[in-house]
């Protein structure tokens, strides 16, 4: 293999170039060659360090993180660059991240292209930097910026760093005038004085609040404080903690989900399928979902037509989309010009003729089979026979929806999540007849919307909502047996969920789940335990926060859930009615049962081929359901807990709710007659 680092000496200047595509990561070979380069440049007046390709070094090689670190270690290389008698000038472009930022800070001078991004994203991988990042950055950028970068993972632009004096110049051609740096005096960053910290308590509090249960942000804060000692003493401590954290569950989980997202974004079965381009999108139904999807499409440069039932509904959709666009303008996410362009690319109407030219139609009308079938009958009449047809249904079977649609190979599900212009997840639903090219185009389209697409087969609730249903069912069983909504919600928030199951239902509204339960009444297994508390809430018109009450009560204009004695009496009353002796549950017990319900359902989904891997399930839950990334997803969590514990928990859950849980094969009870309880 050719060397990833080359050195070319022209006159008294050495040009050291790293070429390790795609992101010039600091692999073992790069580190070894860089260390060698420090020797090779001896005798020159200046060494220019640059990278080939789209970016400067954008991080370490994470695939090496599971194995013992190989020498030369990055701190040795970084320190050698800083200690070199020949000063190094870093020529920076693209993303200067992690090890790349550490190398850049060890150079004597830094020149960057406009817009170059700088960051220490180690915290997002459950780590702290290991090659002097936390020890150099306060010396060059001060405390506030150091905390933002190291503890919160924020990126900074070259323009910000220039203002703070951390880079020497910004230039469209940063390698043009390097000779100007020959002989220029400098103080190595590690030799500079670290600023004393003014208000550590306030910083700690801020970091703790934003960490939401993660440990890495606080470890970074601790490491930053070590700058009070000389670099030679503090850097080895930073390195030791970095290596220790590589083994932590948090870092393993974050690395797992990082790689899972990459694998899942390229499903094996679609690798050879040609993806078409979608420019114009017709959206039928301009309600909550249709308008959110429209905004996501407009934000990424598509032409969008919303088709509604009548002019009044079309006008409402226009206003909703305009207000979403206006919100983005007001928050500074888009410029005036972009705002105007987006609105120019948008139209609504009450007829299908506007869909004629669309490359893709997305249906987001009421959740009713006949209504949806009628929509696709109209769409297939006016649209090209090769235009893609997608349904955003949550629970209906897309195969039934498309049963009479001509050319069913171009039909698929594109299941967005609310609010659709914000939520990253899109389940790309593989209908019976969908061609690989259709699915590949759906995938490419969703990626183009800057979303996270995952491939899912057809079943009730697909991947995400099916697991959600099992999770909610387990939560309701706990209510019946002794817990109260706030205890369950607090336990799951303490686990790291963005919200507990009951407050999340109140936020989303209880109507969809209610309608879904009515749909399932006819087919529900009569032996399965059914807790009617949610039905009783809906019967009282308590549909969640927007109706003022649900599992909790809400004060006007206040989103904070308030415990409601009425609901708690209702729950206790149901338990008494059902002859249940309520007993208290610990937060750990609640977490274990609800997580087991999720992981068991996820495993069944994989075993049935609805998801192609555990990784897919993990991406669905982290990208679409507020599952903490630092726990890696329910399947990764189950791996860390071990199948034995999950089997035991399922035993307990089955005892409390006989006949109500179907076990995945991998968690089947080794003592039972049949391996899989059906």
Binding residues vs ligand NAI (CB under 6 A): 284-290, 307-309, 313, 364-367, 371, 375, 392-394, 416-418
Dig out the tokens for 287 from the structure.
């309600």
Whether the Cβ atoms of residue 5 and residue 18 lie closer than 8 Å to each other? yes
CA–CA distance, 122 with 330 (Å, rounded to integer) = 32
Q: Where are the beta strands (DSSP E) in 124-164?
A: 156-157
- From residue 635, alpha-carbon distances to 52, 65, 137, 585, 596 in Å are 39, 21, 37, 24, 10
In angstroms, give the least distance from the CB of 419 to ligand NAI. Answer: 8
Dig out the tokens for 317 from the structure.
């959709």
CA–CA distance, 598 with 585 (Å, rounded to integer) = 19
In angstroms, give the least distance from the CB of 420 to ligand NAI. Answer: 8
| DSSP letter for each residue of 401-433 | HTTT-SSGGGEEEEEE-SSTTT--EEEEE--SS
In angstroms, give the least distance from the CB of 285 to ligand NAI. Answer: 3
In angstroms, give the least distance from the CB of 292 to ligand NAI. Answer: 8
> With respect to ligand NAI, which residue has the nearer C-beta, 112 or 388?
388
In angstroms, give the least distance from the CB of 166 to ligand NAI. Answer: 45
In angstroms, give the least distance from the CB of 367 to ligand NAI. Answer: 4
CA–CA distance, 165 with 293 (Å, rounded to integer) = 43
> With respect to ligand NAI, which residue has the nearer C-beta, 203 or 502?
502
> With respect to ligand NAI, which residue has the nearer C-beta, 132 or 413?
413
In angstroms, give the least distance from the CB of 385 to ligand NAI. Answer: 21
Query: What's the full length of the chain, in residues?
Result: 678
CA–CA distance, 236 with 244 (Å, rounded to integer) = 12
In angstroms, give the least distance from the CB of 319 to ligand NAI. Answer: 12
In angstroms, give the least distance from the CB of 306 to ligand NAI. Answer: 9
For 111, counting Cβ atoms within 10 Å of its Cβ (0-12 exposed, 13-18 middle, 19+ buried), the class is buried
- Which has the closest alpha carbon to 257: 590, 636, 571, 601? 636
Residue nearest to ligand NAI (CB): 287
Enumerate the β-bridge partners of residue 391: 363, 413
Alpha helix ranges (H) inside 281-310: 288-299
**Residue where the block lists tokens 């050195």:** 7
> With respect to ligand NAI, which residue has the nearer C-beta, 348 or 593?
348
> With respect to ligand NAI, which residue has the nearer C-beta, 371 or 648?
371
> With respect to ligand NAI, which residue has the nearer C-beta, 45 or 367?
367
> With respect to ligand NAI, which residue has the nearer C-beta, 242 or 451?
451
> With respect to ligand NAI, which residue has the nearer C-beta, 222 or 322?
322
Q: Could you give the angle at which helices 464-481 and 565-577 cross, rounded to 10 degrees?
A: 80
- Which has the closest alpha carbon to 463: 638, 610, 603? 610
- What is the distance between the terminal CA atoms of the chain, rounded to a whole angstrom? 55
> With respect to ligand NAI, which residue has the nearer C-beta, 157 or 309?
309
- Describe the chain by its helix, strand, coil percentages, rounded to 5: 50, 10, 40
> With respect to ligand NAI, which residue has the nearer C-beta, 57 or 469?
469
In angstroms, give the least distance from the CB of 509 to ligand NAI. Answer: 8
């Amino acid at each position: 293999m050719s060397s990833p680092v080359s050195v070319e000496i022209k006159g008294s200047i050495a040009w050291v170039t790293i070429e390790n595509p795609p992101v010039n990561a600091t692999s073992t070979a790069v580190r070894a060659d860089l260390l060698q380069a420090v020797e090779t440049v001896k005798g020159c007046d200046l060494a220019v360090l640059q990278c080939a390709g789209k970016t400067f070094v954008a991080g370490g090689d994470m695939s090496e993180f599971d194995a013992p670190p190989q020498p030369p270690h990055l701190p040795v290389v970084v320190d050698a660059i800083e200690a070199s008698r020949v000063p190094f000038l870093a020529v920076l472009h693209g993303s200067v991240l992690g090890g790349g930022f550490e190398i850049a800070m060890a150079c004597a001078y830094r020149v960057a292209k406009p817009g170059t991004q700088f960051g220490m994203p180690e915290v997002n991988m459950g780590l702290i930097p290991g090659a002097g990042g936390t020890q150099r950055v306060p010396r060059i950028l001060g405390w506030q910026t150091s905390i933002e970068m190291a503890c919160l993972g924020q990126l900074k632009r070259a323009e910000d760093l220039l203002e703070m004096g951390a880079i020497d110049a910004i230039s469209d051609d940063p390698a043009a005038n390097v000779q100007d740096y020959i002989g220029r005096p400098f103080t190595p960053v590690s030799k500079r004085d670290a600023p004393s910290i003014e208000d550590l308590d306030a910083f700690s509090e801020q970091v703790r609040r934003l960490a939401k249960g993660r440990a890495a942000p606080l470890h970074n804060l601790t490491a930053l404080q070590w700058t009070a000692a000389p670099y030679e003493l503090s850097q080895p401590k930073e390195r030791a903690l970095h290596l220790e954290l590589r083994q932590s569950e948090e870092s393993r989980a974050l690395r797992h989900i990082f790689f899972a997202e990459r694998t899942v974004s390229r499903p094996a079965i679609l690798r050879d399928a040609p993806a078409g381009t979608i420019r114009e999108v017709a959206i039928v139904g301009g309600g909550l979902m249709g308008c959110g999807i429209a905004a996501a499409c407009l934000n990424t440069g598509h032409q969008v037509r919303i088709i509604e039932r009548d002019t009044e509904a079309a006008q409402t959709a226009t206003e909703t989309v305009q207000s979403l666009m206006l919100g983005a303008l007001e928050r500074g996410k888009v410029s005036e010009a972009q705002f105007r362009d987006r609105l120019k690319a948008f139209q609504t109407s009450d007829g299908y003729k506007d869909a004629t030219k669309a490359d893709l139609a997305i249906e987001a009308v009421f959740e009713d089979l006949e209504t949806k079938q009628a929509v696709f009958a109209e769409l297939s009449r006016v649209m090209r026979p090769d235009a893609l047809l997608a349904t955003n249904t949550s629970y209906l079977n897309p195969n039934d929806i498309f049963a009479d649609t001509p050319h069913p190979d171009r039909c698929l599900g594109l299941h967005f999540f609310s609010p659709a212009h914000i939520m990253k997840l899109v389940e790309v639903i593989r209908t019976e007849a969908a061609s690989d090219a259709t699915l590949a185009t759906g995938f490419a389209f969703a990626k183009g919307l800057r979303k996270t697409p995952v491939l899912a087969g057809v079943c009730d609730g697909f991947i995400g909502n099916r697991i959600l249903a099992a999770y909610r069912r387990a939560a309701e069983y706990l209510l019946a047996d002794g817990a109260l909504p706030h205890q369950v919600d607090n336990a799951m928030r303490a686990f790291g969920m963005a919200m507990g199951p009951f407050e999340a239902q109140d936020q989303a509204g209880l109507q969809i789940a209610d309608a879904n339960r009515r749909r399932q009444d006819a087919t529900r297994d009569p032996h399965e335990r059914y807790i009617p508390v949610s039905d009783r809430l809906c019967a009282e018109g308590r549909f969640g926060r927007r109706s003022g009450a649900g599992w909790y009560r809400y004060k006007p204009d206040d989103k904070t859930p308030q415990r409601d004695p009425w609901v708690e009496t209702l729950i206790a009353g149901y338990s008494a009615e059902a002859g249940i002796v309520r007993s208290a549950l610990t937060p750990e017990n609640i977490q274990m049962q609800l997580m087991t319900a999720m992981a068991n359902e996820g495993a069944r989904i994989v075993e049935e081929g609805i998801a192609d891997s555990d990784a897919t399930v993990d991406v669905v839950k982290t990208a679409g359901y507020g599952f903490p990334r630092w726990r890696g997803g329910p399947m990764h969590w189950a791996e860390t807990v071990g199948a034995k514990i999950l089997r035991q928990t399922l035993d307990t859950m089955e005892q409390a709710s006989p006949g109500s849980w179907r076990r995945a094969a991998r968690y089947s009870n080794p003592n039972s007659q049949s391996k899989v309880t059906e």
